[in-house]
Every structure is written in structure tokens, then in C-alpha cells.
Chain A
């Protein structure tokens, strides 16, 4: 097993964790973390599967991922602003679809 394969497996595990977290977490900030972890997993996948050219990593996927990191931060910043506003308006940090009728016992 070489290290590229190892990182592909890591990407798969991280993506799975991210999807699970996105579904299970109720706090929106955690959902945002889950999305970020999923995108990190895909970034790792893009770099780990890129075939090296003359033993150097391919520059094109690197530029792609660099752009991706910046876009992920932009989306995260906007998401956080939305969460803060939602909390101001409703006092809650969860979505109503996640608020199952709970019996607090």
C-alpha cells in the first residue's frame, strides 16, 4: 500500500464522517463543519489521485484545490453570517425540520 492509496482511503472515511455529521448534527454550526470536512475530503481525493509528473505533483489539481479552499472559506463566512442572523431572529440555532417533537423527560 502506498501513501496515495492511504490518503484515498482517508478521504473516503472523512467524507463518510462528514455526511453522517451533516445528517445527525442539529446545531447549524456543526452542519457547517460537516460540509467543510466533506470538502476537505474531496480536496484530498483530488490531490491523492493526481498522477505525478516527473515525480512532482501535478500543478493543475493543486491550483484547483487552492481555489477550492478560498471558495470554501467564502461559503463558510456567509454561512456563519446566516446562522448569526437566524439566531437573532428566532433565538434558535437549529432548523425547524430538525426540531422533532421532543418529549423532554
Chain B
């Protein structure tokens, strides 16, 4: 009963935050509500007994998306200062019926399939039965890397494609000075970084390692590491640069290239493609993917071709 009430509270806040993020009078309020919506989603995942998703949503959905949206808002304001004016929306008369129909469709789909019996041949049952053959204890990591490695390979490719497309449409002259805090040399900032950055690295490595037996994994760890990078960019320790850097580009490609090589290696022994042999292969893969994911997300944030270290 208490559980149901908690669920109800989470759901009511989700709906309220969604409404606010779409219809709040000012855009800035929309953005804030949208970021909090991501956090509420992460609570919903925790309530649905899926801690891996809760971690991913908190780090990627709320954290990285929030940073990206806020920096985009900053750039829009720099071009056109009156972003925040209340929108004069003209309501289409068709909007409400279409929305109701779409919601109803989802409801029918969901209510028809909720609470049906597990089929004995369900993929999830097969995963749990063969979990010991992968050497992993977390079934989700096993699905991501062992059973459906091709999905994860394509996932990191999508991430890279998004970065390349974003770089292609970003005009370099828009790259700013504006994301850096006003006084990057305040002593307190150095002290803050000295605590936060090692902590971020430590927690992301823990998340990466934890991914094999409990909740965690390369994507959560990479997002967290990227958050550390975002802090460094905001405090001016890393500044956007338009000079392509070989080291950084290698870092961006590291995860994908390792994945491809590791995926092709089993072919030499006559095994199928992407049959990852041992846990060490999975650890190597996850570590390189974490680095690439962190760099990709960081570059999506700064919007630049590469980064320059500034002695601060």
C-alpha cells in the first residue's frame, strides 16, 4: 500500500513536471522543469526495481541532457536575448484529439500486455540461464556486451555520429567565451576542483567496475566522467579549441575501434562475430568505451572540435 502511494507520488510529479516543461510561461522555467523531470524519471526507475536505469537516467538523462540544454539556452540568448518572453501560442484545434488518441493507443497497448505470464522461451529467461557462461553477474551488462554486443557497437556509433553531425552544423564563430564562469581564478574554485575531480574519477571507475556484478556500466561511468569534464570546462581549466588534436580524436575513436577489433578477433578462432571470450575482454572494452563516451559527451557540451588545457 505504501509502495503504491510512493508510485502515485512519483507519477504525479512526473506528469506535473512534464506539463510545466512544455507549458511553463518562460523558456528558462521550462528548461529547469525538464531537468527535474529527468531526476523524477530516475526515481521512477528506482521504483520499478531497475537500478541500472535509475543510474543511467540520473547521469545521462538528467545530468548530461541538463548541461546540454542549458548551454544551448546560453548560446541562444547570446544570439537573441528575448528567448525568455512568454510564448504566444495559438492552439490548434486538432492537437487535443490527436494527443488523446495517442495516449489512448499507448494505454491500450500497455494494458493489454501488462501482467501477462512470462513465456518459457522469453529472451530474458535464456539470458538468466546462460549468465554463468559469460563470467558476468549483472545480466544487463551481459545482454549489452555478450548477448547483444552488436546493439552496443551500434549505440556507440550513434553517439559518435551525433557528435560529428553536431560539429558539422556548429558554426565555429559562435564558440564562445561565454560558458566559462566569470572569475575562474578565484581560490575557492581551485579548492572545489581539487575535491570534485578526483571524486568524480573515483566514482566513475567504481561504476565501471561495479557494472560486471551489480548496477553500473560504461555508459553511466562515461557520463559521470563527462560531468567532471564539464566542470573543468565551466571553470576554464579546459577551453574549447578549433585546432584538431590527434590525441583527442584517438580518444574519441578508442571505444569504437577496440569494440571492432575485439569483435573481429573471435573470427580467427572460428567463433562467431562479437563472441567476447573472457571477462578481461569485457573490462578492456568497457574501460575504452567509458573514455570515448566521456570525451564525446564533453565535446557535445563545448561544441568545439577539440579542447585545450589551460594552466589555471
Contacts and interface: CB of A to CB of B under 8 A. Distances in A.
A95 interface: no
Given A23-B94, A66-B140, A70-B155, A5 B72 contact: no
Given A37-B37, A78-B166, A71 B158 contact: yes
Given A29-B69, A33-B21, A81 B60 contact: no
A47 B127 CA distance: 17
B72 A80 contact: yes
B31 to A, nearest CB: 7
Closest 7 A/B residue pairs (Cβ) = A16-B103, A21-B22, A74-B162, A8-B110, A12-B107, A20-B99, A58-B124
Given A5-B114, A70-B155, A57 B103 contact: no
A70 B159 contact: yes
Interface of A: 1-21, 23-27, 29-30, 33-34, 36-37, 40-45, 47-54, 56-63, 65-67, 69-78, 80-85, 87-88, 91-93, 100, 102
Contacts of A72: 61
Contacts of A83: 72, 76
B245 to A, nearest CB: 20
A13 B68 contact: no
15 contacts: A3-B48, A12-B106, A16-B102, A21-B23, A23-B94, A33-B30, A33-B34, A49-B114, A62-B52, A70-B159, A77-B68, A80-B69, A81-B166, A83-B76, A93-B80
Given A21-B23, A60-B123, A87-B76, A4 B114 contact: yes
Contacts of A80: 68-69, 72, 166
Given A9-B107, A16-B104, A59-B139, 6 more contacts: A12-B104, A15-B102, A37-B21, A59-B127, A78-B169, A81-B300
A42 B105 CA distance: 12
Q: Which of A3, A70, A80 has the most CB of B within 10 A?
A: A70
B79 interface: yes
Contacts of B75: 84, 87
Nearest to A20: B99
A15 B14 CA distance: 12
Interface string B127-160: 1100000000001101110001001100100110
Contacts of A34: 22
B100 interface: yes
Contacts of B117: 51
A25 B72 contact: no
A82 B162 CA distance: 11
Nearest to B64: A73
B56 to A, nearest CB: 5
B270 interface: no
B47 interface: yes
Interface stretch (B3-11, B228-236, B272-280): B3-11
